[in-house]
């Protein structure tokens, strides 16, 4: 993931490596000129491992700035796709959904400010570097997102148990797919403001899918429209 950050143009303030990874520093300095201004810190195996939450760290870490916020696309585009996350709390779900949005070429991931931080360590690992490829935009609340989407003529699609079966839904080319909180789903206020509600029919015995699984199924289908 550190190399993915460099490939994506992130300029690290500091690079920390374990002693046995010093050759990687020499290799990357030649490969990525942006490291010319980066401070290098070398740690013993014991100290480096204590800095990390993973059981078997890879021996390299970067300190980079969070990417600058971006804005929604102009309203005159013919097609655009967004993922919107409302009150999402699990970092694994956050990272997995970001990775999905990146894989299916979504324009951005929008999220309410009370959602889990997409730059949380677990969310970063789950995103597998996709956090550097796709804009991540925080909004104070869902109403702000609704207003922003409508100003760009982007329709909101809510994942909801009361929605139409996915196979019957007619999905627009300019759309934002809303995924709600893991335990409670979308709030009633938000679902009432969505232009379309859809659900994934499940003929099996499982009661539900988790947020990331549902988002991946819906995200793939929407991306194909």
What is the pTM for the complete model shown?
Answer: 0.90
Do residues 30 and 5 touch, judged by C-beta distance below 8 A? Answer: no
Q: Which residues contact 97 (CB under 8 A, 6 or more apart)?
A: 83, 85, 88, 109, 179, 211, 212, 215, 216, 219
Q: Which CATH superfamily is domain 2-63 in?
A: Ribosomal protein L30/S12 (3.30.1330.30)
Distance, CA of 117 to chain centre: 10
Please state, in angstroms and as integers, the Cα–Cα distance from residue 52 to each residue in 11, 18, 56, 176, following that order: 21, 11, 9, 36
pLDDT per position as a tens digit, 11-51: 999 999 999 999 999 999 999 999 999 999 999 999 998 98
Residues 55, 51: Cα–Cα separation, whole Å: 11
**Domain map (residue ranges) of the chain:** 2-63, 80-224
> Is the model's pLDDT at 97 over the cut of 70?
yes
H-assigned helices in the chain: 2-7, 22-31, 45-51, 91-103, 121-127, 142-151, 188-193, 211-224
Q: Which CATH superfamily is domain 80-224 in?
A: SPOUT methyltransferase, trefoil knot domain (3.40.1280.10)
**Confidence category of residue 71, pLDDT binned at 50, 70, 90:** low
């Amino acid at each position: 993931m550190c190399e993915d950050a460099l490939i994506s143009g992130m300029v690290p303030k500091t690079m920390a490596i374990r002693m046995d990874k010093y050759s990687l520093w020499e290799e990357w300095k030649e490969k990525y000129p942006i490291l010319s201004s980066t401070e290098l810190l070398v740690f013993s195996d014991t100290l480096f491992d204590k800095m990390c939450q993973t059981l078997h760290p890879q021996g390299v870490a970067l300190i980079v700035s969070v990417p600058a916020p971006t804005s929604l696309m102009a309203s005159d585009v013919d097609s655009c796709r967004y993922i919107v996350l409302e009150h999402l709390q699990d970092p694994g779900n956050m990272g997995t959904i970001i990775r999905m949005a990146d894989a299916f070429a979504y324009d951005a991931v929008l999220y309410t400010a009370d959602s889990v931080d997409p730059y949380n360590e677990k969310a970063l690992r789950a995103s597998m570097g996709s956090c550097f490829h796709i804009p991540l935009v925080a909004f104070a609340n869902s109403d702000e997102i609704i207003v922003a989407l409508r100003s760009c003529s982007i329709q909101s699609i809510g994942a909801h148990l009361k929605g139409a079966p996915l196979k019957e839904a007619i999905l627009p080319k300019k759309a934002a797919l809303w995924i709600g909180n893991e335990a409670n789903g979308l709030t009633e206020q938000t679902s009432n403001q969505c232009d379309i509600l859809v659900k994934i029919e499940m003929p099996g015995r499982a009661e539900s899918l988790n947020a990331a699984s549902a988002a991946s199924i819906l995200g793939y289908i929407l991306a194909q429209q």
